Structure 1
Amino acid sequence: MDRSTLLALRSRLASDNEEFNGSHIGLYNTSQRIKLTYGSDYGLIVRSKRGYGTAVYLDIPCG
């Protein structure tokens, strides 16, 4: 995905606004559940390089 789309997605995932307009709702719900369970320091990390692909990482505490 291009940089502006990636930044918009990251911003949406970081927000507490539940109005997500149906786009990426699964990512948003997963991120919010992780934050509710483990705290606001945790959640999803999305990295993308146009033409190569996109990766989504789960950031959760170990142990």
Structure 2
Amino acid sequence: QPSIRLGDIELVGDTSHTTFFEMLGNWSLGDYFKKEQLGYFFEFLTKELGLKKEKLFV
């Protein structure tokens, strides 16, 4: 979901602050819950996108 961040807009332009980013979102109505969902996220990030698990933090 597209998100706009304005809480620290005066810091935009340095090496770590931006105003716009895409937020990962996932919605399910009754099919599965948080415990199963975390496994699905991890599998997607590591297998589909090829991210290294050592680089992921929660």
With structure 2 as the length reference, what TM-score do the two structures score? 0.29
With structure 1 as the length reference, what TM-score do the two structures score? 0.27
More helix by share: 1
Relative contact order (alpha carbons < 8 A, sep ≥ 6): 1 or 2 greater?
1
Larger radius of gyration: 2
